[in-house]
Amino acid sequence: MNKLKINIIGSIFGTTGYDSHTRNLFNALYKIADVKLSVPLKPEWQRFVNDAELDAITKPTRNEDINLIVTTPHNWKLCLGLGTNIGYCVWEGDKIPKSYIEEILNPKINLVFAPSEHTRKAIENTFGEKYNLIENKIKIIPHGVNRDIFYKTNKPKTNDKFIFLVVKGWRGTNWDRGGVQYVIKAFAEEFKKVENVQLEIKLNSAYINQQILQQAIENLNLPTDRPPIHVCIDNTPFDKLNNIYNDANVFICATRAESFNLPGIEAMACGLPTIQTNFGGQTDYMTKENSLFIDYELSESEEKPMYENINWATPKIESLKKQMRWAFENQDKIQEMGQQALEDSKNWTWDCSVQKIVDVINHI
């Protein structure tokens, strides 16, 4: 039987979630389909791709069966092909922007993929009673983890301290969506310098530099009698990032809103339980057996105009402190939760995601 011909449109050479999504999705789909990869190229781009990506990028333009568009909905109409057009709608708040409505209703967009029940619900909340017009168009296709890259190494940890790990983007504001500011503040206030614990933070360099970072931490007015807080903003290869996960004990993300949260599932694939806000796409893969949940209150986003009249979570600091303290004082149970997280991560791989895509396409 001939393989499906699929054109993936997106970007792969940056450090954003969209770039990671496109690249991982492509490499999994390439195993089972005939894939063309349409992405903006940078100078000497050939040095930054694997053999599959090189093959897919250099394939001539052709009429595809499927055009899979991994961009914001505003750009979908610029990427339409002659075959079936599928747009990925990735969104974090409790509703999507009203400007997305026209793009989703576009009859030339045959399907809309949402990475989580959270995003699907946000679409429904925005359409309201008219959701029935597009309900059959919306399909949940989760993001995933590449378990060849992120895995438990079973090597002895290089540090005898109990390590909470944050892997996130942060622009240094007190209201930033990723919630790194809440973790820093809760950790510094909950733990004392004499306790055998530390906070490791790996930040995406696309969002912050050293000067902004230093000022942002000063603005938090942290107590001085606190354990170590280490922050890294260097570009980190995947193999070293895997080691960072494996050196930690618990992954933590006090996010305000997520469509899926890739670092959470990457951490689970490395055998880490997670502490995350109980609002967002990450709740699809979080359970009480593999994670601890942070309580929150909904409030209107400060990020305008994109999030106008859209709510997201404000994590409760006391709930965050309570979960961090429980994890530190129940390390045997945390190890058990980590084992469960490792097992559960097997159901959330990119290979699982692309199989869902093929199943959906075969039913069109």
pLDDT digits (tens, 9 = 90+) for 149-203: 999 998 887 778 999 999 998 888 888 999 999 999 999 999 999 999 999 999 9
Which of 23-37, 203-217, 260-274, 300-314 has the lowest average pLDDT? 203-217
For residue 213, what pLDDT band results from cuts at 50, 70 and 90? confident
Mean pLDDT, to the nearest integer, of 75-83? 92
Give the C-alpha separation, 297 to 317, whole Å: 11
User: What pLDDT does 207 receive?
Assistant: 79
User: What pLDDT does 159 receive?
Assistant: 79
Q: Which of 129, 82, 124, 66 is nearest to 100 (CA)?
A: 124
Both structure tokens of 139: 């399909």
User: What pLDDT does 243 receive?
Assistant: 93
- DSSP-derived secondary structure letter, 113: E
Both structure tokens of 264: 């959470």
User: What pLDDT does 93 receive?
Assistant: 94
Helix, strand, coil percentages, rounded to 5, for the chain:
40, 20, 40
pLDDT digits (tens, 9 = 90+) for 6-21: 999 999 998 888 999 9
Q: Which of 113, 135, 150, 106 is nearest to 259 (CA)?
A: 113
pTM of the full structure: 0.94
Q: Where are the domains of the chain?
A: 5-144+350-362, 162-345
- 291-294 and 229-232 strand pairing: unpaired
- DSSP-derived secondary structure letter, 137: G
* Model confidence at 145: pLDDT above 70: yes
Matching fold, domains 5-144+350-362 and 162-345: yes
* Model confidence at 295: pLDDT above 90: yes
Contacts of 336 (CB under 8 A, 6+ apart): none
CA dihedral for 28, 33, 39, 45, sign (positive or negative): positive
For residue 237, what pLDDT band results from cuts at 50, 70 and 90? confident
State the DSSP H helix or E strand holding residue 20, giving kind and residue range, or none if neither: helix 17-29
What mean pLDDT, rounded, does the chain reach? Answer: 93
User: What pLDDT does 192 receive?
Assistant: 96
* Model confidence at 64: pLDDT above 80: no
* Model confidence at 1: pLDDT above 70: no
Domain 162-345 homologous superfamily, CATH? Glycogen Phosphorylase B; (3.40.50.2000)
CA dihedral for 122, 123, 124, 127, sign (positive or negative): positive
User: What pLDDT does 114 receive?
Assistant: 98
Give the C-alpha separation, 348 to 135, whole Å: 24
Considering the segment(s) 5-144+350-362 as one domain, its CATH architecture is 3-Layer(aba) Sandwich (3.40)
Both structure tokens of 151: 């895995």
Alpha-helical regions (H) of 235-348: 238-247, 262-269, 317-329, 331-345
Residue 221, Ramachandran bin (φ over 0: left; ψ between -120 and 50: alpha; else beta): left
For residue 250, what pLDDT band results from cuts at 50, 70 and 90? very high
Q: Which of 151-165, 207-221, 319-333 has the highest mean predicted lDDT (pLDDT)?
A: 319-333
